[in-house]
Structure 1
Amino acid sequence: MNILRIAGKELKVFRDIKMLLFMLATPVLLMLILGTALSGNFHEAVKVDPIRVIYSYHSTNRTLETQWEAFLLETKSSGIHFEEVTSRTETDVLRDVQNNLYTGYARIVNDGISYYGNNGNGMENGIVHGLLAALTDRYRLSITETNLPAPDENYVTEASVDAVRQPGGLDYFSIAVTTMIILYSALTAGQLIETERSRHTDLRLLASPITKGEIFAGKIVGSLVYNSIFVMIIVLFSKFMFGVNWGEHLWLVFLVLLTEIVLALSLGLSVGYCLKGNAAGSVLMIIIQAAAFVGGAYTPVEQTTGMMKSLSRYSPLHWSNDAILDIIYAGNLKAAPPAMVLNLGCSVLLLALAIVLMRRREGL
């Protein structure tokens, strides 16, 4: 009950309508400015890397064999190289594709074509998949007397291939700004305890029949609920007012964002206990800006190179953005758990640090 009372106290911030409108206007304006000013970055000509596809042929159908040989000649003249598997096992071939030695692996059998592509080669995979789909359409017409799949079935089985859809400028920056704003909540979390000290209400709280743990938990719960509602409003506002594509699995996107909120609050509390006053805010601002800069808040990570791209993997914005984009544009629901585990894992470590520091202090 004490935890809920303290959480309720944190939620009284909703009484200040002017502040709420200002907090809502900030991310909305950032979405519009970045999404409009930098939208050209999402419509430039894209350089396609050399396409090398490895394949294994297991069909006994002579008609398909003739079509496949003609297909290889046509693709060769287009600069797309198909290499047949010789003595390697399928496991070794798939490992080569995973290591980016090949764009993908095609397996041709009597029942159809299975294609396995590297997730990092979305554009190249789309080209190969389109060519294979065209081949099967032509093959289907040339062997109408044989036992083929129903016309509404897809003759090409596709695995681990990026979706053709890509986010526009406003779509991308709506996601990037939302995750960045979440990280800024670490600043308010860092002041949760410091505010009590500056107002000298910490001694009153400790004198009341409330434990340090209840105070700590109540403030976390209150901040979590408050920030979750705020983020939900931003997402729904951008979805219905700007037409931003948040995908068909909005509930899963919210779960990823929720774990990032937990991470931001944990970061703010741990730094707030390590440092006092303005020092905590300064350190948090540096961490947030660095994470936003390398994590794709202002420029998509795919457009960066060198050290910037290497550092991006350590930014919570990068792995959260990647998971959300994968869910929305590739329908890959399996992208959410790794990002959520990373967010919650870091949160546990940071909260553990804050708890240890809290217990060592006489006051809050």
Structure 2
Amino acid sequence: MILFYMMKKELIQFFRNKSNVIILFVFPILLITCLGFALKDVMEEGSPDIFNDVKVLYNIEEISSYSGAFHSFMKDVNNNLDISFQSINNTEEAKEKVDSGYAVAFITISNKGYDYYRTKNRETIEGKVFRNVFEQFIDNYALIGIEEKNHSFIDNKSFENYNDSAIREESMGLRGINSFEYYTFAELALIMLYVSTSISETVYDEKYSSTINRIRISKANSVQLIISKAFVGVIIGVLQSIEVYIYSSIVLKTNWGENIWLMFAILACLSVFSSILGIVIGLATKDGKSMNSILNIIIISLCMFGGCYFPISMLKSMPIIQEIIVFTPLYWVNSALMSVSSGIKSNYAAISIALSLGLSIILVLGYVVVRWLKRGKTIG
């Protein structure tokens, strides 16, 4: 019963603050609309300029399961992207053509796998994106090959289905979806992270007011305090998701796909992470300026490497950056939202949900351990 009243109190306090309501419920609509129109020409569906008469050289040394898969891959790439494949037997000549810019890559296929040669000079964006598409395909085929040994053969149709998904998924932000669809999901995730700032402010206010003293002398405990704060954050996140869903579907004609409940589950788990982040930072910092500075640095970094400012496909084509983004929850959240809305079968949704909830647990446990090491009291 006490927990119910604490949740009720938190909700009332939040909606009394007009600035919170404006920032978390009006700003997402403005942000999505402005970015959608601003980048409409860059990300217009079906009209990207990134692949314009791109050439790829290849040589199949031996007929094998890899060569069959590669032929299927070439067929699907030709059907989806403006890329042409040319067979060449002279390895040195092929490498010279790649270095001169005539082709973006030279691929050698054997029964052991493949060898991918790219230019010694600065690799173009087209080359980087194509390399990501191909490597994603070949890595998946390696896993399929293991299953093939233990079960039955994998027919060409399964490769075609995978290739189509890989191409659509890798080109998100360039081909797979339009600007309104991309930034509906990306900016909703961004603004949901800012829920942490509102939650942290309430925690900070509790610490330096008589409210926290009343909570401590009441029957309420630390766990109830955390749950009540996190509850408000989750409610805000769900309401934001519903608001953006209605607006984007009716006004912007955004396609959320068929699995709406999975989309909302991904966003709800992100709101849990955002709330716990705000609670922990609010409890751990000693002054308001430090709290806001730390949260802003964390949020901007997560959004930058998570695809909220730049398309994911662009980030995945950048050296070093492509290694960093896989450690950020927003990368998996945005990838999951886009893959689910596009009907692409992947494990992004499971990873994003597990990562959001896992990081939430780690944050709480980390704070508890630090307090214990410092011989502090309970979280409350």
Per the normalisation by structure 2, the TM-score is 0.68
Structure with the greater alpha carbon radius of gyration: 1
Distance 1:51 1:250 in 2: 42
- Residue 263 of structure 1: aligned partner: 273
Q: How many residues align?
A: 305
Alignment of 1:44-83 (within 5 A): 44-47=48-51, 48=54, 50=56, 79-81=85-87
| Residue identity in the other structure for 1:301 | I
Q: CA deviation at 1:327?
A: 0.8
- Residue 308 of structure 2: aligned partner: 297
1:310 and 2:353 matched? no
SS at match of 2:320: helix
| Residue identity in the other structure for 2:201 | Q
1:40 and 2:41 matched? yes
1:3 and 2:3 matched? yes
- Residue 279 of structure 1: aligned partner: 290
Unpaired stretches in structure 1, ≥5 consecutive residues: 58-67, 127-159
SS at match of 2:188: helix
Change in 2 beyond 3 A, CA 1:49/1:317: farther
Unpaired stretches in structure 2, ≥5 consecutive residues: 66-71, 89-106, 114-133, 149-153
Alpha-carbon contact 1:34-1:298 (below 8 Å) kept: no
RMSD: 4.1
1:183 and 2:187 matched? no
Q: CA deviation at 1:294?
A: 2.0
- Residue 232 of structure 1: aligned partner: 242
Alpha-carbon contact 2:222-2:378 (below 8 Å) kept: no
Cα displacement string for residues 268-290 of structure 1 (whole angstroms, at most 9, x for unaligned residues):
22222221222111101011011
Cα displacement string for residues 285-326 of structure 1 (whole angstroms, at most 9, x for unaligned residues):
011011112221111021231233332222221110001111
Alpha-carbon contact 1:98-1:118 (below 8 Å) kept: no
Alignment of 1:141-290 (within 5 A): 166-277=176-287, 278-290=289-301
SS at match of 2:308: coil
Alpha-carbon contact 2:58-2:85 (below 8 Å) kept: no
SS at match of 2:176: coil
My pick for the range that moved more, 175-184 or 353-362, is 353-362
Change in 2 beyond 3 A, CA 1:362/1:95: closer
Distance 1:273 1:357 in 2: 12
Per the normalisation by structure 1, the TM-score is 0.70
Q: CA deviation at 1:166?
A: 1.3
- Residue 145 of structure 1: aligned partner: none
Alpha-carbon contact 2:165-2:345 (below 8 Å) kept: no
Change in 2 beyond 3 A, CA 1:357/1:39: same
Distance 1:308 1:96 in 2: 17
Distance 1:205 1:27 in 2: 34
Change in 2 beyond 3 A, CA 1:283/1:22: closer
1:361 and 2:362 matched? no
Q: CA deviation at 1:84?
A: 12
Distance 1:222 1:125 in 2: 39
Q: CA deviation at 1:351?
A: 1.8
Alpha-carbon contact 1:190-1:269 (below 8 Å) kept: yes
Change in 2 beyond 3 A, CA 1:97/1:218: closer
Q: CA deviation at 1:167?
A: 0.9
Alpha-carbon contact 2:332-2:349 (below 8 Å) kept: no
Distance 2:259 2:175 in 1: 16
Change in 2 beyond 3 A, CA 1:28/1:52: farther
Cα displacement string for residues 148-194 of structure 1 (whole angstroms, at most 9, x for unaligned residues):
xxxxxxxxxxxx99999711011101111000011111112222321
